[in-house]
């Protein structure tokens, strides 16, 4: 934190690269040696972005400079012109030691104002010698680029504000031991007995969002693993209430698995009754690393399920690379499996694959007797959905199993 007690928000890496690319294009167009963007805060400015023809130490990202030093505040105030093709011809510039000490022979700079009208700082380019090619149309270009950059910075500010708000809500959720977990039975289609339960996260937060959106928000601010781990901790409490050999399915992201923190949370529970579900939609950029992270758990008996199979184009890669013990069919198939030949062919193919690899297939979203019958005819091993039971809290599980 600086002396003012205000620490400017740091743009995201994606925003950094986009703004730097715009700044570089502008500087080259103007024929200038150095281009930079400064952000004002308090009585100082911080250099945020820099681009230069060659390595230089005059202006560096992160530098904090009093607003009384240099041109930026003077340009905003109108004490210096925005365009100076030759600083030696501008008396106000020559009165500043900065002009001679740097040195600056030509300079062009304009204010950067956010969409709200708030002054962010300045966009500036300079070089050591005069640049007599600079004209009024270049100043117009400078203002246009400043507007483009301001739009990017405004979006980043909004994203930062949302991130800060989400962080406060998620920290509160963790303090209240959220998310809560409800459980939906997974039924063996041949015997109609419960073969497992899937633990599903439920949040009681403001604003009201679906669980996947809260997990996504947590991941965006670096709290995704903590939130997932809390969901896993809460879900595993049901293992003491589940009779027989029924398993507990837990939704886990590749990031959580790679973190190496699952083992300590699952310690003490019967690992052979735990199934980790990884969705087909999860982005896996390193299957080898994910497999290495899973190996100790799978060696101890933990099984792996691939969720949402058949929903996209990555099913085959996930199936081949991860070799899941359970293949869960996307719920969208349930609505068409009875009369859509393509859907039936896909389900049949996945059942054949599962049989050949000693895996099982579970259908999601089964809401009617007809859907259950269609899956049963195709050889699907298990199913879950409203036809069998809705998700229920832990205290209702005992009554459910008694029934």
Mean pLDDT of 356-382: 97
CA distances from 99 to 37, 90, 115, 243 (A): 18, 10, 32, 81
Q: Is the pLDDT of residue 5 over 60?
A: no
Residue 242 — very low, low, confident or very high, per pLDDT cuts 50/70/90? Answer: confident
What pLDDT score was predicted for residue 10? 40
Helix axes 136-175, 13-30, angle to 10 degrees: 170
Q: Is the pLDDT of residue 231 over 70?
A: yes
Q: Is the pLDDT of residue 1 over 50?
A: no
Q: pLDDT tens across 324-346, in order?
A: 999 999 999 999 999 999 999 99
Q: How many residues does the chain have?
A: 403
Structure tokens at 341: 């030949």
Question: What is the DSSP secondary-structure string of 74-112?
Answer: HHHHTSS-SEES-GGG-HHHHTSHHHHHTT-SEEEEEEE
Q: Is the pLDDT of residue 304 over 70?
A: yes
Q: Is 161 exposed, middle or buried (0-12, 13-18, 19+ CB in 10 A)?
A: exposed
Q: Is the pLDDT of residue 113 over 70?
A: yes
pTM: 0.77
First and final C-alpha spacing in the chain: 61
> How far does CA 391 lie from the centroid of its chain?
28
Instruction: Give the residue among 176, 162, 149 at the shortest CA–CA distance from 49.
Output: 149
Question: Which domains are assigned to the chain?
Answer: 13-162 (3.30.450.40), 176-402 (3.20.20.450)
CA distances from 312 to 274, 279, 316, 318 (A): 26, 11, 10, 11
């Amino acid at each position: 934190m600086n002396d003012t007690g205000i620490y400017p928000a740091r743009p995201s890496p994606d925003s950094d690269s986009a703004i730097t690319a715009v700044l570089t294009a502008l500087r080259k167009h103007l024929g200038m040696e150095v281009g930079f963007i400064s952000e004002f805060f308090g009585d100082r400015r911080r250099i945020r972005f820099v681009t230069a023809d060659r390595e230089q130490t005059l202006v560096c990202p992160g530098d904090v400079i009093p607003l009384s030093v240099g041109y930026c505040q003077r340009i905003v105030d109108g004490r210096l012109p925005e365009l100076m093709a030759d600083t030696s011809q501008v008396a106000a510039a020559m009165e500043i030691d900065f002009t001679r000490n740097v040195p600056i022979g030509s300079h062009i700079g304009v204010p950067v104002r956010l969409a709200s009208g708030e002054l962010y700082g300045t966009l500036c380019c300079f070089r050591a010698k005069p640049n007599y090619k600079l004209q009024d149309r270049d100043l117009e270009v400078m203002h246009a680029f400043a507007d483009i950059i301001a739009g990017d910075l405004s979006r980043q500010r909004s994203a930062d504000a949302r991130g800060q708000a989400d962080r406060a809500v998620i920290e509160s959720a963790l303090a209240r031991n959220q998310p809560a977990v409800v459980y939906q039975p997974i039924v063996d289609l041949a015997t109609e007995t419960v073969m497992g339960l899937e633990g599903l996260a439920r949040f009681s937060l403001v604003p009201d969002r679906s669980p996947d959106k809260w997990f996504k928000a947590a991941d965006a601010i670096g709290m995704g693993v903590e939130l997932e781990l809390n969901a896993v901790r809460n879900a595993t409490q049901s293992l003491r209430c589940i009779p027989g050999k029924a398993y507990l399915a837990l939704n886990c992201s590749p990031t959580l698995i790679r973190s190496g923190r699952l083992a300590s949370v699952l310690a003490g529970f019967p690992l052979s009754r735990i199934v980790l579900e990884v969705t087909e939609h999860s982005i896996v950029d390193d299957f080898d690393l994910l497999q290495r992270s899973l190996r100790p758990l799978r060696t101890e008996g933990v099984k792996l399920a691939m969720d949402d199979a058949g929903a996209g184009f990555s099913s085959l890669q996930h199936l081949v690379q991860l070799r899941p013990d359970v293949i869960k069919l996307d719920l969208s198939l349930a609505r068409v499996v009875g009369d859509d030949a393509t859907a039936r062919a896909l389900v049949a193919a996945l059942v054949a694959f599962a049989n050949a690899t000693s895996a099982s297939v579970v259908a999601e979203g089964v809401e009617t007797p007809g859907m259950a019958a269609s899956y049963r005819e195709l050889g699907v091993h298990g199913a879950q959905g409203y036809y069998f039971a809705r998700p229920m809290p832990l205290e209702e599980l005992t009554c459910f199993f008694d029934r």
